[in-house]
């Protein structure tokens, strides 16, 4: 074996790659082809036939463009909220936390250790009609006497923001942490105010983190359906809710498949822009 590898050194990388890449090819790439195949079928469960049914796409779009647009709007607001909330925290951890750095990083990822569905359900407790948050907001008249937070757009977007916060905070931290403090000193020496050195040195240098965090937050958020299902009503349904219901409840595989493709295609187009 050893001597065989020695004689065919150029084969080594392919042997190392083979098992894992085969797995990804068979269970990630091939399924995409099947999804495409299914999206062009017609008929009713369980008798689907492949008929190059491109009208699936147009009818899916006309039927569910509301949910599609809503998904991107919610994901966009949540991503922006994550960026605004996470940046100062990541900044503090990178520049001010000192020995506490690792502990605070652990705090950031801690929500991941609680089952996704359970931590989303916890927001049900927090935002509940009888809960303290609603009571205070009613007392200060931000909410009307019957106002509620649950089953509103606010609850869904807040849930998404909370759940994907670490995806934003971690890349931000990584890029901020790599900034050479001497750059900031240099900008001070050149008489930049702290605002100027923040805007002209810190922010541009943390751009890779901002981009990575935005992608890591926006993409899963756009496909999410748990927050809308648990914290919202059908009026807050996102495209994920529709795809999931089409696949598992109404057994309308072709529509579900074409919606999946539309979701992915839209994200790809956004990535390229």
Partner 1 sequence: MTTAAETLARPARVGFASRAWRFVARHSLTVYALLAVAYLMLPIAIVILFSFNHPTGRFNYVWHKFTFDNWIHWNSVLGIQSALEKSLEIALLATFVATALGTLIALAIVRHRFVGRGATNVVVFLPMSTPEIVMGSSLLALFLNEQNTIQLGFWTIFIAHVMFIISFVVVTVKARLIGFDRHLEEAAMDLGANEWTTFQKVTLPLLAPAIIAAALLGFALSIDDFVITYLNAGPVQTFPIFVWGVARVAVPPQVNVVASAIFLVAIGLGLANVVWQYRAAKSTRGGT
> Cβ distance 200 to 119 under 8 Å?
no
Apex 189 CA angle, 186 and 194, nearest 5 = 85
Give the nearest distance from C-beta 140 to partner 1 in angstroms.
Answer: 19
Among 67, 202, 206, 260, binds partner 1 (CB under 8 A): 260
Q: By rule CB under 8 A, what count of residues binds partner 1?
A: 86
Dihedral sign from CA coordinates of 259, 263, 264, 268: positive
User: Looking at beta carbons only, is 1 or 190 nearer to partner 1?
Assistant: 1
Over the window 205 to 244, marking each residue x when it contacts partner 1 by CB under 8 A and - when it does not, the resulting string is ----------x---xx-xxxxx---x--------xx--xx
Among 63, 88, 147, 234, binds partner 1 (CB under 8 A): 88
> Cβ distance 179 to 209 under 8 Å?
no
Q: How far apart are CA 153 and CA 264, in angstroms?
A: 23
**42 contributes a contact to partner 1 by CB under 8 A:** no
Give the nearest distance from C-beta 119 to partner 1 in angstroms.
Answer: 5
User: Looking at beta carbons only, is 25 or 141 nearer to partner 1?
Assistant: 25
Six-digit token pair at 170? 């971690």
Residue 46 preceded by cis peptide, ω within 30: yes
Interactions with partner 1, residue window 155-174 (CB under 8 A): 162, 165
Give the nearest distance from C-beta 167 to partner 1 in angstroms.
Answer: 11
Over the window 3 to 22, marking each residue x when it contacts partner 1 by CB under 8 A and - when it does not, the resulting string is --xx---x-xxx-xx-xxx-
Over the window 99 to 118, marking each residue x when it contacts partner 1 by CB under 8 A and - when it does not, the resulting string is x--xxx-xxxxxxxxxxxxx
Six-digit token pair at 40? 């062009």
For 263, residues 6+ apart whose C-beta sits below 8 A from its C-beta are 68, 71, 222, 223, 239, 243
Dihedral sign from CA coordinates of 128, 130, 136, 140: positive
User: Looking at beta carbons only, is 76 or 220 nearer to partner 1?
Assistant: 220
Give the nearest distance from C-beta 187 to partner 1 in angstroms.
Answer: 19
């Amino acid at each position: 074996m050893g001597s065989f590898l020695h004689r065919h050194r150029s084969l080594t990388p392919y042997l190392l790659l083979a098992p894992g890449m085969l797995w990804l090819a068979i269970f990630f790439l091939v399924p995409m082809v099947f999804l495409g195949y299914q999206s062009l079928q017609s008929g009713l469960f369980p008798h689907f036939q492949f008929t190059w049914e491109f009208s699936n796409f147009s009818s899916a779009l006309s039927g569910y463009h509301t949910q599609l647009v809503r998904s991107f709007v919610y994901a966009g607001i949540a991503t922006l909220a994550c960026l605004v909330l996470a940046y100062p925290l990541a900044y503090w951890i990178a520049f001010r936390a000192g020995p506490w750095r690792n502990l605070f990083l652990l705090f950031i990822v801690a929500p991941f250790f609680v089952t996704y569905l359970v931590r989303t359900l916890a927001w049900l407790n927090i935002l509940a009609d009888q809960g303290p948050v609603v009571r205070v907001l009613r007392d200060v008249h931000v909410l009307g006497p019957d106002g509620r937070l649950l089953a509103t757009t606010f609850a869904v977007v807040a849930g998404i923001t909370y759940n994907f916060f670490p995806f934003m905070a971690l890349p931000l931290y990584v890029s901020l942490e790599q900034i050479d403090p001497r750059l900031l000193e240099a900008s001070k020496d050149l008489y930049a105010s702290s605002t100027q050195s923040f805007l002209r040195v810190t922010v541009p240098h943390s751009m890779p983190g901002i981009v990575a965090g935005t992608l890591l937050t926006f993409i899963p958020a756009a496909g999410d359906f748990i927050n809308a299902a648990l914290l919202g009503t059908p009026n807050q349904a996102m495209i994920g809710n529709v795809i999931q219901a089409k696949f598992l409840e109404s057994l309308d595989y072709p529509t579900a498949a074409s919606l999946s493709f539309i979701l992915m295609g839209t994200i790809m187009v956004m990535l390229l822009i």
